[in-house]
Amino acid sequence: MSTVAPARRARRRQLDSSVIVGIALVAVIVVGAILVSTVGRNFFSPGNIRDILTGMSVLGFVAIGQTLVVLCASLDLSVPYVISLASLIGADLMAGNPANIPFAVLVVLVVAGAIGLANGLIVTKLKVNGFIATLGTGLIIKGYLDTNYKGTSGEVPYEFQLIGATGIGPVPVSTIIMLAVALLAAFFLARTRTGHHMFAVGGSDQVSRLSGLRTARPVIIAHVLCSISAALAGLLLASRLGVGSPTVGTQGGYDLLSIAAVVLGGTLLMGGRGSIWGTIGGVAIFAVMDSVMSVMQVNPFLKDVVRGVVIVAAVAIYTSRTVERRRPRFGPGGSVSEAGSKPIGDLAATKEGAVR
């Protein structure tokens, strides 16, 4: 994004962050295109591009929200169940009638927002680690789903199905919406005070508090937005399936995959640094990889092996770069007063991160 980057170093780092993910993506695309051509297919054909972009949209929505939560040094493992719940509430409320669409979408977003609020409050007020808090709320939603829904339910009107089924050229409408949401999220992080606070709180909760931030607020908001973006993913899935499904969220393994995509995109799992566009790059890498393996007709079991290896290898490349990159911040030999300089460094990172 073209935003104010006062310090030259900040600009260079900013370049680094997106460039690494970008280079990785380009590398994956090049390798993928070569592999695809060996089986006599064209990687850049409209159908294939459409396949890849479609694969990106659902995970993209989830990963955007997950990025915000991870930036705040939390996690959200409840997303698969929020997705399923959203698809069911959406499809049930629409009940095949296009007039119900706005209302259904609104209710879904409100319910998701409430779940996110609960997550955020449990994390910040009850001081439950995000991992456990969202694992717990996820299980609670799962219990609700299993009890109240047996199999698919509801009916999505044709008009709403079009979101999932149509495209402008090879670009599906759903991908366009996803990218628009990504743009909003990036804007939110770069330009709003709450966005900046997310970086600060994620970088160091203590320092943020001592600097006078209300540290709970950004975390709660991140959780709310994460659940809402998971709900958008759920609505998109409902639109593609034509019905709501209690298992559609877990089928995709969106909890762990979205976290993997976020980290692959260069966001630190311990929070405080990262970017939405990196995440989108991470999601794209997954989508390209999956698409190539499908075209190659790779054994489904081997697909998982490849996914696992690529996730680790890609993050390893990224983290090894990150360590080098960070050195100059402390100046030569600055580490003696490490305890003192670390929070300052983090705050600095916070600002630079926020510019992104």
Partner 1 sequence: MTTVSQAPPTTGDRLAAFARNLISPRGAVFLLLVVLLIAITVYNPSFAEPSQFIRFVQRVAPIAIVAIGQYFVIVGGEFDLSMGSLVTAQVVIAGNLIGQDDAKSIPVLLLMLVFGAFIGLINGLIVTFLKVPSFIVTLGMMLALLGGVLYWTGGAATGNPADSFREIGRGGIRDLPIIEILPWSVVVLVVVLVLAIWFSRRPFGRMIVAVGDNATTAAYGGARIWWVKSSAFIISSLSATVAGVLLVGYAGVHPSVGRGYEFIAITAVVLGGVVLGGGRGWVVAAAAGAFALEALFTLLNFAGVPSTYRDAVQGAIIILAVAYAATTFRARRKGHALEAPATHASPDAPPTSPEASQTSPEANQTSPAPRAKEPDATASARPAPIPSTQRADNETKGGL
Partner 2 sequence: MRRRFTVASAMVGALALMTLAGCTTDPNVGAPTDEAAPSEEAVEWFDQELFDKQDAERDVIPAGPEGQPWLQHINAEMVDTSEFTSPGAKKACFANASISNPWRQTGWITMNEQLKVLQESGAISEMETRDAQDSDDTQIADIDYFINEGNCDVFLISPNSTAAMTPAVERACDTGKPVVVFDRGVQTDCPVTFIHPIGGFAWGIDTAEFLIDELEEGDKVVALRILAGVDVLEQRWAGAEKLFDEAGIEAVDYFTGADPAEIKKIISDELAKGDVDGIWMDAGDGAVAAIEAFEDAGADYPVMTGEDEMSFLRKWKETGLTGLAPVYSNFQWRTPLIAAQKIFAGEEVPKEWVLPQSPITAEEVDEYLALNENMPDGHYAKFGGEDLPGYPQVWEDRIIP
Can you give the binding site for partner 1, defined by CB under 8 A?
73-74, 122, 126-133, 135-144, 146-147, 204-206, 256, 259-260, 263, 269-272, 299, 301-305, 307-312, 315-316, 319-320, 322-323, 326-327, 330, 335-336, 338, 342, 345-346
Q: Which does 45 bind (CB under 5 to 8 A by kind): partner 2, partner 1, none?
A: partner 2
Q: Which does 126 bind (CB under 5 to 8 A by kind): partner 2, partner 1, none?
A: partner 1
> Judged by CB under 8 A, does residue 349 bind partner 2?
no
Closest approach, Cβ 230 to partner 2, in A, equals: 12
Q: Which does 37 bind (CB under 5 to 8 A by kind): partner 2, partner 1, none?
A: none
> Judged by CB under 8 A, does residue 245 bind partner 2?
yes
Closest approach, Cβ 264 to partner 2, in A, equals: 20
Q: Which does 135 bind (CB under 5 to 8 A by kind): partner 2, partner 1, none?
A: partner 1
CB contact burial 66-101 (16+ within 10 A = b; e otherwise): bbbbbbbbbbbbbbbbbbbbbbbbbbbbbeeeeebb
Q: Which does 282 bind (CB under 5 to 8 A by kind): partner 1, partner 2, none?
A: none
Please, are residues 220 and 120 in contact by the beta-carbon 8 Å criterion?
Answer: yes
Residue 215 structure tokens: 């540290």
Phi–psi pair at 121, nearest 5 degrees: -70, -40
Q: Which of residues 31-70 bind partner 2 (CB under 8 A)?
A: 41, 45-48, 50-51, 54-55, 58
Binding map of partner 2 across residues 273-292, x = CB under 8 A, - = no contact: --------------------
Decide whether 2 or 297 has the Cβ nearer to partner 1: 297
User: Nearest CA to 259 among 285, 283, 229?
Assistant: 283
The residue ranges of DSSP E strands in the chain, in sequence order, are 167-168, 171-172
> Judged by CB under 8 A, does residue 300 bind partner 2?
yes
Residues in the chain: 356
Residue 156 structure tokens: 């999505």
Please, are residues 293 and 305 in contact by the beta-carbon 8 Å criterion?
Answer: no
> Judged by CB under 8 A, does residue 247 bind partner 2?
yes
Q: Which does 269 bind (CB under 5 to 8 A by kind): partner 1, partner 2, none?
A: partner 1
Q: Which does 288 bind (CB under 5 to 8 A by kind): partner 1, partner 2, none?
A: none
* Separation CA 205–CA 199 (nearest Å): 10
Decide whether 246 or 281 has the Cβ nearer to partner 2: 246
Closest approach, Cβ 283 to partner 2, in A, equals: 14
* Separation CA 202–CA 84 (nearest Å): 29
Q: What own/partner pairs with CB < 8 Å and gap ≥ 24 does 32-39 have?
A: 32/288, 32/289, 32/291, 32/292, 35/292, 35/296, 36/292, 36/295, 36/296, 39/295, 39/296
Decide whether 100 or 294 has the Cβ nearer to partner 1: 294
Closest approach, Cβ 245 to partner 1, in A, equals: 16
Q: How far is CA 265 from CA 62, 259, 307, 317, in A?
A: 14, 10, 15, 11
Cross-strand pairs, 167: 172
Closest approach, Cβ 308 to partner 2, in A, equals: 14
Decide whether 168 or 323 has the Cβ nearer to partner 1: 323
